[in-house]
Chains A and B, each alone.
Chain A
Amino acid sequence: MTRRIARAALAAVALAGGGAGAHEIAPPPAPPAYALPTPGSYELPAISRVPDFTLLDERGAPAPLLGLASDQVAVVSFVYSRCTGGQGCPLALATFQGLDRKLAADPALAGRVRLATVSFDPANDTPERMAALRERLRPAADWRFLTAASPGAIAPVLAAFGQDALPLVDERGAGLGLFRHVLKVFLVDASGAVRNVYSAGFLSPDLLLVDARTVLLESGHRAALAGP
């Protein structure tokens, strides 16, 4: 327990020292310590349904959040650039980077999995900042960086996905420009059904890809997607 408390204190230090626009990226998550299941050997029932939303891409142009063809799935996470929590946004970005590289190396799958990193802090995360993030991460597959025109425009998106994001304040109630949020990553199919939700406890590019293959196998692309 002592070690946990010490780590928590370190986290608080990291919070205090986080600079604006830090866009930290964590080390890539370790592979799971357990054997991955075979794609298609288990079920991922729909948890909820989300509509598509029109957001802004990194050039400031309107862009759909999902925009999926019938044979595609999306992996979506909500982040903000000032986040410095090692198991928060930086972990989400590292996971997506790992996913992106694995997809780029698998042409049969690459066209069927779209990645979307969405800011829930549009007041700070302008399209320019998202472009800078894209430049830093250099996506090799279909990975988009989205924001919204205003906090009011992102609120219904967060509500639809069930993503919390609470602005933090200091002792006097002054805004800190930081958010408390539980990291969630969403696997969404072409019908808008959320098929799995991941958090820090089991966020792994390998597991995400097995789940993506499991969903895609339902839509009849067995030969191409049976996977390793």
Chain B
Amino acid sequence: MIRTRSTLAVLGLLAAAAARLAAADETCQSPYLPKLVGQEDFVYVWTLGVDGLGDGSDKLVTIGANPARPDYGKVVSTLSVGGRHEAHHGGFTDDRRALWIGGLDDSAIFVLDVASDPAHPKLVKTIRDFSAKSGGVVGPHTFYALPGRMLITGLSNAKDGGGRTGLVEYSNQGDFIRTIWMPAGAEYGYDARVNADLNRMLTSSFTGRVNYMRPLGELLKDAAAMKNFGNTMVVWDFHTRKPLQTLAVPGAPLEIRWALQPEHHYAFTASALTARLWGVFRTPDGRFEAVDLAPIGDPSKAPLPVDISLSADDRHLFVSTFGDGSVHVFDVSDARQPREVLVQKIGGQLNMVSESWDGRRVYFTSSLLANWDKSGPDGEQFLRAFDWDGKALAPRFAIDFQAERLGRPHIMNFGALGFYQGRVAGGATGAPGGGG
């Protein structure tokens, strides 16, 4: 059965490598999380509800992704959470048994059991008092597994809906642990990624609720509001959660991806408003420097890079640009001298890009934010799956989320049946023991 090739290796097994697995998609997952290194069976897509489309609710859509299964390229199941919350990002707990997904509008968080029946995730807990418990953090964005707990970055605050925000920790059981507010001079938040080897965490910055819930066309014309975007990244001592350095990265640096290979002590980000690719490099004194590496597309045309995905061998960086619906692939073998090797139109608009660990498959979704998505012909809503051979992207299947009356697809996470069923496939990489 080819199906049993769906294996999930606890990469913590791989002695020295484990501590260096810091980031990115499957390759961007937390270093404390077991990785899916083989063929995924499912792609879980956290999807914004659209009034009048299907049941209109935000939902988790499970897509079959294994060509050996009869549900390949089809919607396997949907799980509506009821209501619209500005569905955005989500992530697994450290044992990969629960998927936490959040809403940027009302800060609702939904905890799903993906272990009992991976084809049909179940809602097991709803957290509606995130803002109250956290002391006023609003807009739960990144959900990042730490041992025994979940690190959640905020985008905003309850006091003024601006960009001042914090990092919030919850136990895997769903109980609030603590809030760490972003430091003075770097108050905005967006993503957080840990390099366990170096005991360093990087955070990035976006904008507050008053901006991200506002129609994009209107926002772009408001010069005062456009000043309220983050221009910083923060380097943290991860163990003590203390800020060490604030780096100037103008124009809303969003997703962060640490390099994965040994001795690659650097990370990438893309600044959305200025359309620049940035590197954050460790310097000989142990500190970090932010370096403007390259333009992404034509910055004068506001391509709006929104997501990035780094291959596990640190060779290729995929950057999706919302404005022109394209993916830009950079060869980052020489991290300080990236070369754009491919630009390909994926759709009318484009947001998330997620790569499999083995680098052979790349998935894209279309939706950015409810009030920022395009209308008209470019406003298509899709998941599109491609094969990647290191040079070209070849289409494999697509799901039209409007025709299927599902909504607007956003973040993707991968699932595999074998992991939860305890199956060990012959000659496969699945193995017990170890920590992620």
Question: Which residues does A use to contact B, with CB under 8 Å?
Answer: 1-5, 7-9, 11-12, 14-15, 26, 32-34, 37, 41-43, 45-48, 83-89, 91, 162, 164, 166-171, 176, 178-184, 186, 194, 197-203, 207
Contact = CB atoms under 8 A, between A and B. Distances in A.
B133 to A, nearest CB: 13
7 contacts: A3-B17, A8-B431, A11-B13, A15-B432, A33-B197, A42-B240, A88-B432
B315 to A, nearest CB: 9
A201 B196 contact: yes
A200 B434 contact: yes
A47 B429 contact: no
B422 interface: yes
B333 interface: no
Interface string B405-436: 00000000000000111111111111111111
How big is chain B's contact interface, by range? 35 or more
B187 interface: no
Contacts, number: 197
Contacts of B422: 166-169, 180
A171 B11 CA distance: 22
Contacts of A86: 13, 15, 433-434
B18 interface: yes
A33 B19 CA distance: 11
A35 to B, nearest CB: 8
Given A85-B10, A166-B422, A194 B237 contact: no
Greatest chain B CB density within 10 A among A89, A167, A168 is at A168
Contacts of B312: 1, 4
B424 A8 contact: no
Interface of B: 1, 4, 9-15, 17-19, 21, 31-32, 34, 37, 94-95, 97, 146-149, 169, 171-173, 175, 177-178, 196-200, 237, 239-242, 311-313, 358-359, 419-436
A98 B185 CA distance: 42
B424 A15 contact: yes
A32 B37 CA distance: 27
Contacts of A47: 148-149, 171, 177
Given A11-B429, A32-B199, A42-B242, A199 B435 contact: yes
A187 B358 CA distance: 35
Greatest chain B CB density within 10 A among A14, A33, A89, A180 is at A180
A83 B148 contact: no
B426 A179 contact: no
A199 B32 contact: yes
Given A12-B428, A87-B435, A42 B19 contact: no
Contact of B37 (A8, A14, A179, A186): A8
A168 B433 contact: no
Nearest to B175: A48
Question: Which are the 10 A-B pairs with shortest beta-carbon distances?
Answer: A85-B433, A88-B433, A183-B435, A199-B435, A197-B148, A200-B435, A201-B196, A42-B240, A200-B12, A197-B147
B239 to A, nearest CB: 6
A82 to B, nearest CB: 9
Given A86-B13, A178-B432, A171 B148 contact: no
A183 B432 contact: no
Contacts of A201: 12, 18-19, 21, 31-32, 147, 196-197, 435-436
A186 B421 CA distance: 26
Contacts of B427: 9, 12
Greatest chain A CB density within 10 A among B14, B419, B423, B429 is at B14
